[in-house]
Amino acid sequence: MSTELLINVTPQETRIALVENGVLQEVFIERTRRLGLVGNIYQGRVSRVLPGMEAAFVDIGLDRAAFLHASDLRDLHKDDTPPSTETPAPQPIGALLKEGQHLLVQVVKDPLGTKGARLTTHLTVPSRYLVLVPGGSSIGVSTRIEDEDERERLRSMVEELVASICDEQHGFIVRTVAEGVQPEALRRDMYYLRTLWQTVRERAGSAVHGERVYSDLPLMLRVLRDLASHEVDKIRVDSRENLAIVNDFAARYVPDMASRIEHYAGERPIFDLYGVEDEIQKALERKVQLKSGGHVVFDQTEAMTTVDVNTGAFVGHRNLEETILKTNLEAAQAVARQLRLRNLGGIIIIDFIDMRDDEHKHQVMRALEKALERDHARTQVLEVSSLGLVEMTRKRTRESLEHVLCEPCPTCTGRGSLKTSETVCYELFREILREARQFEAREVLVLASQSVVDRLLDEESASLAELQEFINRPVRLQVEGLYTQEQFDVVPL
Q: Return mean pLDDT, the chain.
A: 89
Res. 415 pLDDT band, cuts 50 70 90: confident
User: Cα–Cα–Cα angle for 87, 109, 298, nearest 5°?
Assistant: 115
User: Whole-angstrom Cα distance, residue 490 to residue 488?
Assistant: 7
Identify the CA nearest to 330 among candidates 316, 343, 344, 340.
316
| CATH hierarchy code of domain 421-492 | 3.40.1260.20
% of the chain at pLDDT higher than 90: 59
Q: What is the mean pLDDT of residues 447-474?
A: 94
Domain spans of the chain?
A: 3-35+218-276, 124-214, 286-398, 421-492
Instruction: Give the range among 315-324, 431-440, 452-461 with minimum mean pLDDT.
Output: 315-324
Residues 393-408, mean pLDDT to the nearest whole number: 88
Domains 3-35+218-276 and 286-398 share a fold: no
Say which CATH class 124-214 falls into: alpha beta
Does domain 3-35+218-276 match CATH 3.40.50.300? no
**pLDDT the model gives residue 486:** 94
**pLDDT at site 408:** 86
Reported as a single tens digit per residue, the pLDDT across 284-338 is 999 999 998 889 999 998 889 999 999 876 665 667 888 889 999 999 999 999 9
Instruction: Give pLDDT, residue 85.
Output: 42
| Integer CA distances (angstroms), 112 to 302, 348, 398, 412, 416, in order | 10, 17, 7, 21, 20
Among the residue ranges 8-17, 161-170, 281-290, the one predicted with the least confidence is 161-170
User: Distance between CA atoms of 8 and 237, rounded to whole angstroms?
Assistant: 6
CA neighbor of 223 nearest in space, from 1, 19, 11: 19
Ranked by mean pLDDT, which of 73-77, 82-86, 293-297 comes out on top?
A: 293-297
Question: What pLDDT does residue 213 have?
Answer: 94
Question: What pLDDT is recorded for position 293?
Answer: 87
Q: Is the pLDDT of residue 76 over 60?
A: no
> What percent of the chain has a predicted confidence (pLDDT) above 70?
96
CA contacts within 13 A on the Cβ side of 416:
5
Q: Which pLDDT value is given to residue 227?
A: 82
Q: Report pLDDT for 91.
A: 75
Domain 286-398 falls under CATH 2.30.30: no
pLDDT at 278: 94
* 442-462 average pLDDT score: 95
- Predicted confidence at residue 32, as pLDDT, reads 87
Whether the CB-CB separation of 17 and 276 falls below 8 Å is answered with yes
pLDDT at 296: 95
Whole-angstrom Cα distance, residue 18 to residue 36? 19
Query: pLDDT, tens digit, for every residue of 197-235?
Result: 999 999 998 899 899 999 988 999 988 888 877 788 999
Give tens-digit pLDDT for 87-133: 455 678 888 899 999 999 999 998 877 788 999 999 999 998 999 99
Measured between alpha carbons, how far is residue 124 from residues 38, 71, 154, 162 in Å? Answer: 11, 16, 19, 16
**pLDDT of 456 higher than 90:** yes
pTM of the shown model: 0.81
End-to-end CA gap in the chain: 74
The Cα–Cα gap between 207 and 201 comes to 10
pLDDT at 81: 41
pLDDT for the residue numbered 87? 47
What backbone phi and psi angles, to 5 degrees, belong to 23? -115, 130
Average the pLDDT over 26-41 and give the result.
Answer: 90
